[in-house]
Chains A and B, each alone.
Chain A
Amino acid sequence: MPLALRIYVGLSALFLIFPLAIVLAVSLDPGSYIIFPPTGFSPKWYLDMWHNDTVVRAIENSLIVGFSSSAIAAVVAVPAALGIMRREGSSNFLYAVSLSPFTVPWIVYGLALLFFWSAIGWNLSIWTLILGHTTIAIPYVLRVTVAVLKTMPPNLVRAARSLGASPLQAFFHVTLPYIRGGVLAGVSFAFIVSFTNIPVSLFVTTADNITLPIAIFNYMINNFEPIVAAISVVQVALILVALFFARKFISLERN
């Protein structure tokens, strides 16, 4: 690996995490306004925040919604990707349709979601939220899976079939391991898009299904206080931990 490349990667890592560093610094400030450089150093907000019912409930909800929607999206998108590949490549109409959630601005989708649920008479609940998140998550998983599937030599599956494997076995033992990395990338996107999403959740939020970014958002638009920074850091930590474990799980599998 050329040195220049390694330096570049290091710099880009710094670039990526600098806001987190700043937020972290601010969250440890016991003062009552967000100001940088911070005026002091204390973990006060991290302790206070667990007393806030809304925050705790929001964390639970976000985890539930994030995992559910990305899992369901994967379950739906991976077979869809296979189906699309089967129909000679990616320029068919159905592919475009299934990617269409990409093109809808989230804020409009969120509002339309509200009216949709009222039209079919369902009460707003965490379930209505999960469905919305799943729909916007599917294209991420789909697009990346298709990209990886395209690079797969078609002979692999044919070889397995000619050796006597059934289509299902061929899928599980040949295709799936090959696309595993791509699927994981897609699912990670789905999780993070759901966990941090505000516009889609915004209009269907009720007293019970509030998610963490919405709680932070509501806090933030009226209170410019370090506790918001602390909650944001917790949000980041949760996401990173979830992703880290997902990756670990995959590489264990690979070996």
Chain B
Amino acid sequence: MTSRRDFMKMAGYGAVLAPWAGASFAQGSGNVVTVTSLGGKWEQSIREHFVPVFKRKTGADVRIVLGAPPQWVAQIEAQPKKPPLDAVDNSEGLAISLIDKGMVVKLTPEKVPNLVDIPEPCRLPFDNYGASYQYSTSGIFYNSEKIKQAPASWAEFFERAGRGEFGKSITLADITYAWGPHMLWHFNKALGGDLNNLDPVFNALRKIKPYIVKFWGTALEVERMALSREVSIGVLWDGRAQAMQDTNAPFLRFSRLAPDSLLTLTPAQVVKGGNEALALEWVNTLLDPVPQLEYYKMIGFTPTNTKVKIPDNLKSRLPDLAKTATPPYRELGAAIPAIMERWNREIRG
């Protein structure tokens, strides 16, 4: 009769002691580097393409922490003296914040030889405190069965959408999407404004609002909406749109609009106070052309190393780096709270 409580107690103690015992084996040795990765295919690519190259060169083990930049940066900031991560694949805004807090190490060609083959737009915004191993550009995807003549420029897109030409079947990134503010900045620039004058983009958004099915917060949402034909036109990144097109939705097309596309980067950074030597070598591996090519074939985001040999049949998809724009990250970061306020007032309400 009493055994239920006892059972629970025993189960509790047993379960509690087991990981305790297991944990004692896991405690760090010197020849391990802790790195980060997004989940799913990204993790698969890291494990299959990059880790073997790294292991061959250094003989060290790689531990991968899954998640996303906000979580990783929070962990780094929480334990600055003994960071739980040695290298981090960061997002632009958070990379800048780590740089400004002095928590990352500067990359140099001596320590990271592959750095010289990385084009400047992929590392200069971070003053070489981080270098991106892939990049992606924005554009519109559209259902070619419904929309025969796609817009050629951002201005044209907003104008036609605002008139109601596409009907209520549009989706744009929400301000809560990690790159929402960046996209907003980019639209604003294409419509003739700048950070001090956000009226062009907010006017356009107000006009387009009745035709928006939903502002998407994650790439998953917009892909769902596109594939289920809930929307017929929207804004997305090249790699993702092209992947959709290739696998399951030949009716979807992607195109980059004039005058330029928003560029997004994944700056890989080395955390101060961690296993810096191995982390630098890891970043070097991320920038190596050989695994980068495999990564591109699996994931579809453009690799940065200029020495990567892109297969001919895919060359037409490559973006032209000259026709891309990156926001001034620090100023944008400072302006974001005000942008959110304005969004909440004018678009949400």
Q: What is the bound-complex CA distance between A207 and B227, given in angstroms?
A: 33
Q: What is the bound-complex CA distance between A57 and B39, given in angstroms?
A: 14
Contacts A35-B227, A35-B248, A221-B39 given; indicate if A127 touches B19 (C-beta within 8 A): yes
Q: Is the CB of B43 within 8 A of A54?
A: yes
Contacts A127-B20, A219-B39 given; indicate if A249 touches B4 (C-beta within 8 A): yes
Contacts A71-B9, A177-B1, A205-B71 given; indicate if A33 touches B244 (C-beta within 8 A): yes
A115 partner residues in chain B, CB cutoff 8 A: 78
Q: Is the CB of B1 within 8 A of A67?
A: no
- CB contact list, B5-24 vs A, under 8 A: 5, 7-9, 11-12, 15-16, 18-20, 22-23
Q: What is the bound-complex CA distance between A215 and B65, given in angstroms?
A: 10
Q: Is B323 at the interface (CB under 8 A from chain A)?
A: no
- What distance in Å separates the Cβ of A142 from its nearest Cβ neighbour in chain B? 15
Q: Is A172 at the interface (CB under 8 A from chain B)?
A: yes
A217 partner residues in chain B, CB cutoff 8 A: 39
- What distance in Å separates the Cβ of A69 from its nearest Cβ neighbour in chain B? 9
Q: What is the bound-complex CA distance between A250 and B75, given in angstroms?
A: 42
- What distance in Å separates the Cβ of A111 from its nearest Cβ neighbour in chain B? 6
A-B interface, 10 closest residue pairs, ranked by CB to CB distance from nearest: A218-B39, A71-B12, A223-B40, A68-B15, A118-B78, A207-B63, A219-B40, A33-B248, A126-B19, A219-B39
Q: Is B98 at the interface (CB under 8 A from chain A)?
A: no
Q: Is the CB of B220 within 8 A of A203?
A: no
Q: Which residue in A36, A210, A218, A249 is a CB contact (below 8 Å) of B228?
A: A36
Q: Is the CB of B23 within 8 A of A127?
A: yes
Q: Which residue in A54, A187, A218, A225 is a CB contact (below 8 Å) of B68?
A: A218
Contacts A71-B15, A72-B12, A72-B16 given; indicate if A221 touches B68 (C-beta within 8 A): yes
A203 partner residues in chain B, CB cutoff 8 A: 71, 74-75
Q: What is the bound-complex CA distance between A172 and B224, given in angstroms?
A: 54
Q: Is the CB of B19 within 8 A of A124?
A: no
Q: Is the CB of B8 within 8 A of A71?
A: yes
- CB contact list, A43-102 vs B, under 8 A: 54, 64, 67-68, 71-72, 74-75, 78
> Which of A's residues lie within 8 Å of B, judged by CB?
31-36, 39, 54, 64, 67-68, 71-72, 74-75, 78, 111, 114-115, 117-118, 123-127, 130, 172-173, 176-177, 180, 187, 202-203, 205-208, 210, 214-215, 217-225, 228, 249-250, 253
Q: Is B176 at the interface (CB under 8 A from chain A)?
A: no
Q: Which residue in A75, A78, A114, A222 is a CB contact (below 8 Å) of B41?
A: A222
- What distance in Å separates the Cβ of A110 from its nearest Cβ neighbour in chain B? 9
Interface contacts beyond A124-B84, A176-B2: sample of 12 additional A-B pairs, CB < 8 Å, sorted by A: A33-B244, A64-B19, A75-B9, A118-B78, A126-B19, A172-B2, A172-B5, A176-B5, A218-B66, A223-B39, A224-B220, A225-B40
Q: Is B247 at the interface (CB under 8 A from chain A)?
A: yes
Q: Is the CB of A125 within 8 A of B23?
A: yes
A interface, over-half SS = helix
- Mask, B68-79, CB within 8 Å of A = 1, is 100100110011
B328 partner residues in chain A, CB cutoff 8 A: none
- What distance in Å separates the Cβ of B73 from its nearest Cβ neighbour in chain A? 10
Q: What is the bound-complex CA distance between A202 and B23, given in angstroms?
A: 20
Q: Please count how many residues in chain B sit with their CB below 8 Å of the partner chain's CB atoms.
A: 48
Q: Which residue in B9, B65, B78 is a CB contact (below 8 Å) of A205?
A: B65
Q: Which residue in B65, B68, B78 is a CB contact (below 8 Å) of A207?
A: B65
- What distance in Å separates the Cβ of A179 from its nearest Cβ neighbour in chain B? 11
Q: What is the bound-complex CA distance between A130 and B220, given in angstroms?
A: 30
B11 partner residues in chain A, CB cutoff 8 A: 67, 71
Q: Is B60 at the interface (CB under 8 A from chain A)?
A: no
- What distance in Å separates the Cβ of B35 from its nearest Cβ neighbour in chain A? 9
A31 partner residues in chain B, CB cutoff 8 A: 247-248
Q: What is the bound-complex CA distance between A115 and B218, given in angstroms?
A: 27
Q: Is the CB of B67 within 8 A of A75?
A: no
Q: What is the bound-complex CA distance between A117 and B74, given in angstroms?
A: 12
A250 partner residues in chain B, CB cutoff 8 A: 4
Q: What is the bound-complex CA distance between A149 and B77, given in angstroms?
A: 45
Q: Which residue in A172, A208, A210, A220 is a CB contact (below 8 Å) of B220?
A: A220
Q: Is B38 at the interface (CB under 8 A from chain A)?
A: yes
Q: Is the CB of B78 within 8 A of A114?
A: yes
B71 partner residues in chain A, CB cutoff 8 A: 202-203, 205
Q: What is the bound-complex CA distance between A249 and B3, given in angstroms?
A: 11
Q: Is the CB of A75 within 8 A of B8?
A: yes
Q: What is the bound-complex CA distance between A205 and B65, given in angstroms?
A: 8
Q: Which residue in A173, A187, A205, A228 is a CB contact (below 8 Å) of B66?
A: A205
A218 partner residues in chain B, CB cutoff 8 A: 38-40, 43, 66-68
Q: For residue A117, which residue of chain B has the nearest CB?
A: B78
Q: For residue A250, which residue of chain B has the nearest CB?
A: B4
Q: What is the bound-complex CA distance between A187 and B9, given in angstroms?
A: 13
Q: What is the bound-complex CA distance between A35 and B63, given in angstroms?
A: 34
Q: Is the CB of A205 within 8 A of B39?
A: no
